[in-house]
A and B are shown apart, each in its own frame.
Chain A
Amino acid sequence: MAARVGIVGIGHTVFGNLSEYDLADIMAYAATDALKDAGFLDRRKEIDQVLVANMASGMLCHQSAVASALVSRMDMEPVPAELVENGPASGASAVKLGYMAVASGLADLTLVVGGEVMRRVTGWNATDIVATMLDTDTEYNMGLTLPGFGGMFTRLYMEKYGMEERDLALLAVKNHDNGFKNTYAHIRAKCTIEAIADGPEAAVVNNYVAEPLRMYSTCPVSDGGAALLLVNMDAPIAKEFPKKPIRIAAVASATDTHCVHNRKDPLELNAVRIAAEKAYKMAGIGPEDIDFAELHDAFSILELAISEEVGFFERGKSYLAARKGETAIDGTLPINTSGGLKSKGHPVGCTGVSQVVELVRQLRGEAEEGRQVKDPKYGMSVNFGGFGNNVASVICAKD
């Protein structure tokens, strides 16, 4: 019988341009925040395992073996520490492996830390580095990038389901509203539909990035860190924390073809659907039980497509629900209460950990005024790696 796993500490740096700071310092700041939250900073050497989520520090910061740097920076030696790399889904994968370490009985306490510094290189260079996750010969070498695939996916969706560019702008308005209230968000600024879609200057303010995707439908390039302390809820030590654990009800992941062109239906995100199905089965619930969700909107179209694949809406109907405000903070199913990747930001390897921090904040009732979901019981995150070729999902529950 696997042990129940809960989260007893969370930490998060502000997201944004932190390029003047060292990656290990950023991660250590978030990690010490999580330990302080858990009242465990002075006992940090009792932690059984540290897992670090990072995608590309070797290329972005010319720094490798960052798990070793982190434990040393935190004076945590000899605690075991390893790096988890799964592209932009590194964060949720680290949560999943942390869960497995605790549930298996190998560790009672696991510290999961995500971190990325992307803005030390130019935007051109960051775009190139992120594109290395694509298939080398058939995608990267062609000059393709992640926004390029986002644009092609958006066009397919628009042509099949009749969605308009304005619908994506509505998502940006919603997510910036949420991010504006989030202490940790990269872009804490509201935007109006007039400014980015309806007004005379909208095409300039909200220019094309990868047609039909515009700037306000694309996440920023961010730096930041986030951390979680996982505990075996069935072990005696679970009673030693000041805050009641938020239970991890499910962790699940799945893969899809590395080359996007090899998918039978390029609009289907099979890895998202399968990861969600596995997560629901593990949690013993269905999509109707989820009270709010953090979905990987690196491009706004993904918030819609993922929300359909995980069963919140029928295919091709999510943008209609968003038009009606159903996914707003006061809607029936709030999505990206943190501001999402669009407003909160997207330090690639860190994002999955950050999403789970948001699940815990909401489930504890600790979100800022104006973006707290009313008495949620289940929150779900979907962390999207590659262009959907490696996806991990986490469901957290307030018991």
Chain B
Amino acid sequence: MIDFSMYDVKAPQIDAWKCDSCGTIFYPVPMVCSGCGVRRDPVTNKGWSTFELSGPCTLLTWTRVWNLPEGYNKKFLQFGIVEFENGLRASGRVEVDEPRTGMALTATVEESDERPGDPVNVFVFK
């Protein structure tokens, strides 16, 4: 595990969002809150707050994909959909040897540079 505190870089992170007006949480963030209808200003994001989406989660389903798109020089990758304790769900990669639906996992975030362009943050459920 890299100790990012030693360096002037931030550990990769994926955020979920909360509408401060009604408390509804989202991932990804919408333009209009489905709870109270308030619109988000995409420049200021006033009235909306973010929080890190990570930690314990439950695997809802998974697959092992053998025909990866261009850029992924791997034999296969595993993907899954998880549910967090706060009820939010997310799709991402699964890195356990024998995935099972319903198993407890921990969501981590890593940087991916497989595709062209800027690196992106991806969920890796372990």
Interface set of A (CB-CB < 8 Å, partner B): 122-125, 127-128, 131, 135, 137-139, 141-145, 147-148, 151-156, 159, 207-213, 259-262, 266
A124 and B68 alpha carbons, distance in the complex (Å): 7
For the complex formed, measure the closest distance between the CB of B126 and the CB atoms of chain A, giving whole angstroms: 15
Q: List 21 A-B contacts (CB under 8 A).
A: A128-B71, A131-B69, A138-B90, A139-B91, A141-B122, A143-B77, A144-B79, A144-B91, A145-B69, A148-B79, A152-B61, A153-B61, A155-B61, A155-B101, A156-B60, A159-B61, A208-B66, A209-B67, A260-B91, A261-B91, A266-B81
Q: Which of A143, A155, A213, A266 sits near B112, CB closer than 8 Å?
A: A143
Cβ-defined contact, B67 with A210, below 8 A: yes
Provide the bound-state CA to CA distance between A123 and B69, in Å: 8
When distances are taken between beta carbons in the complex, the residues of chain B under 8 Å from A159 are: 61, 101
A330 to B122, CA, bound (A): 48
CB-based nearest B residue for A135: B28
Q: Looking across the interface, which residue of chain B has its beta carbon closest to that of A258?
A: B28
CB within 8 Å of A: which B9-37 residues = 27-28
For A143, give its contact among B27, B28, B69, B101 (CB under 8 Å): B69
Q: Is B70 an interface residue (CB 8 A)?
A: yes
Number of A-B residue pairs, CB cutoff 8 Å, is 106
Instruction: Please give the distance in Å from A295's CB to the nearest CB on chain B.
Output: 22
- B residues 77-126 touching A (CB-CB < 8 Å): 77, 79-81, 89-93, 101, 112, 114-115, 120-123
Q: How far is the CA of A240 from the CA of B38 in the complex (A)?
A: 55
Contact A261 B63 (CB under 8 A): no
- Which B residues are CB-close (under 8 A) to A125? 69-70
Q: How far is A143 from B71 in the complex, measured between Cα atoms in Å?
A: 10
Q: Which residues of B contact A259 (CB under 8 A)?
A: 28, 91
Query: Does B72 reach chain A (CB closer than 8 Å)?
Result: yes
Q: A139 to B79, alpha carbons, bound, how many Å?
A: 10
Q: Are A210 and B66 in contact (CB under 8 A)?
A: yes
**Residue ranges of B at the interface with A (Cβ–Cβ < 8 Å):** 27-28, 60-72, 77, 79-81, 89-93, 101, 112, 114-115, 120-123
Report whether B89 and A143 are in contact in the complex, using a CB–CB cutoff of 8 Å.
Answer: no
In the docked arrangement, what's the CA distance between A199 and B108, Å?
42
Structural contact, A124 and B69, CB atoms closer than 8 A: yes
Complex CA–CA separation, A144 to B72 (angstroms)? 11
User: Are A151 and B65 CB-contacts (below 8 A) given A138-B90, A144-B79, A159-B101?
Assistant: yes
Q: Would you give the shortest CB distance from B85 to chain A, in whole angstroms?
A: 15
Our pick among B60, B70, B123 for the contact of A124 (Cβ within 8 Å) is B70
Taking the closest CB of chain B, its distance from the CB of A219, in whole angstroms, is: 13
From B63, B65, B66, A207 is in contact (CB under 8 Å) with B66
Q: Which residue of A lies closest to B119 (CB)?
A: A141
- Chain A residues whose CB sits within 8 angstroms of the CB of B112 once the complex forms: 141, 143
Interface contact A122-B91, CB-CB below 8 Å = no
Whether the Cβ atoms of B63 and A142 lie closer than 8 Å is no
The contact of A211 among B64, B68, B92, by CB within 8 Å, is B64
Instruction: Report whether A261 and B101 are in contact in the complex, using a CB–CB cutoff of 8 Å.
Output: no
Residues of chain A within 8 A (CB-CB) of B92 are 142
Closest to A154 in B: B63
Chain A residues within 8 Å of B114, by CB: 143
> Shortest distance in angstroms between A271's beta carbon and chain B's nearest beta carbon?
17
Q: A145–B93 contact, CB under 8 A? A: no
| List of B residues within 8 angstroms of A155 by Cβ | 61-63, 101
**A261 contact from B62, B66, B90, Cβ within 8 A:** B90
Q: How far is the CB of B94 from chain A (nearest CB, A)?
A: 10
Query: Is the beta-carbon distance between A266 and B61 smaller than 8 angstroms?
Result: yes
Contacting pair A142 B123 (CB below 8 A): yes
